[in-house]
Structure 1
Amino acid sequence: MKVIIKVLVVAAALWAATQWVDGISVDTTDTTRQVGTLLVVALIFGVINAVLKPIIKTIGCAFYILTLGLFALVVNAALLLLTSWIAERLTVPFHVDGFVAAFWGAIIVGIISWLLTLILGDD
């Protein structure tokens, strides 16, 4: 149940990013397909975060310390770009146009996910 809620939270955060950031898009007009696409992208993003983020944190520990954690924004942007690349390879209609869009999208996804987790609870 916890995993389903987390996927729904990330999907909602990704939807907000598609609305607020130019360069992040779901290339379908059908609402049902948009929801399905966002859920698939949230799953991809979750798997990428679960697998790669701990490795990157371990390897890039010095950068996290030197930048007081701001390096995490760069890592999250790169992971969002990787998510877009994988989604395109799987023919999922989700696209991020470059690092700047990914950077702002990662900030929005992070903030919205944090707020929704506060509201819904993590348990």
Structure 2
Amino acid sequence: MIRFILRILIAAAGLWLSDRLITGVVVQGVTTLLLAGLLLGVVNAIVRPVVTVLTFPLTLLTLGLFLLVVNAAMIGLVSLIVPGMQVHGLWAGVQAAVVTGVVSWIGQVLLGDAKREE
């Protein structure tokens, strides 16, 4: 349960950093950040695998770069659902996906692997 909460906080931190660094991303308030972090985790767990499988030929053709567009679409979907979060344009979404991905990667490195701890 603690790891789940930490992952939400890490996703929220990535969205907060995206808000600060990217002019096309706007997130209003801490509550919106936490809700967006939670919803981003749910969307990445449920919707993203389906979209990734459906777009596999395009991902293969672009040598994996299309996954940035998929990640941007997931952030865009979250911004459509969460009031107080806005992503203006595809490039802002791609940049937010890169920033959020890097922050999530750093958080995952810091948290370690749950399977090794068991």
Deviation at 1:20, TM superposition (A): 0.4
Q: Write the deviation string for residues 4-48 of structure 1: whole angstroms up to 9, x where unpaired.
A: 111111011111100100011123xxxxxx222111001111111
Q: In structure 1, which of residues 71, 80, 84 is the aligned counterpart of residue 79 of structure 2?
A: 84
Q: Which runs of 5+ in 1 are unaligned?
A: 28-33
Report the Cα distance in structure 1 between the residues aligned to 2:63 and 2:99, rounded to whole angstroms. 20
Report the Cα distance in structure 1 between the residues aligned to 2:31 and 2:113, rounded to whole angstroms. 23
Query: Structure 1 stretches (4+) deviating beyond 4 angstroms?
Result: none
Question: Residue type matched to 1:121 in 2?
Answer: G
Task: Report the identity percentage.
Answer: 39
Match of 1:4 in 2: 5
SS in 2 for 1:69: coil
Match of 2:34 in 1: 39
Match of 2:103 in 1: 112
Match of 1:26 in 2: 27
Give the structure-1-normalised TM-score: 0.85
SS in 2 for 1:22: coil
SS in 1 for 2:75: helix
Report the Cα distance in structure 2 between the residues aligned to 1:6 and 1:56, rounded to whole angstroms. 22
Q: Which runs of 5+ in 2 are unaligned?
A: none
Aligned residues: 113
Match of 1:30 in 2: none
Report the Cα distance in structure 2 between the residues aligned to 1:120 and 1:12, rounded to whole angstroms. 15
Q: Write the deviation string for residues 32-83 of structure 1: whole angstroms up to 9, x where unpaired.
A: xx22211100111111111111111111111221212111000011111111
Q: Give the superposed CA RMSD.
A: 1.2
SS in 1 for 2:64: coil
Give the structure-2-normalised TM-score: 0.89
Match of 2:85 in 1: 94
Report the Cα distance in structure 2 between the residues aligned to 1:95 and 1:60, rounded to whole angstroms. 25
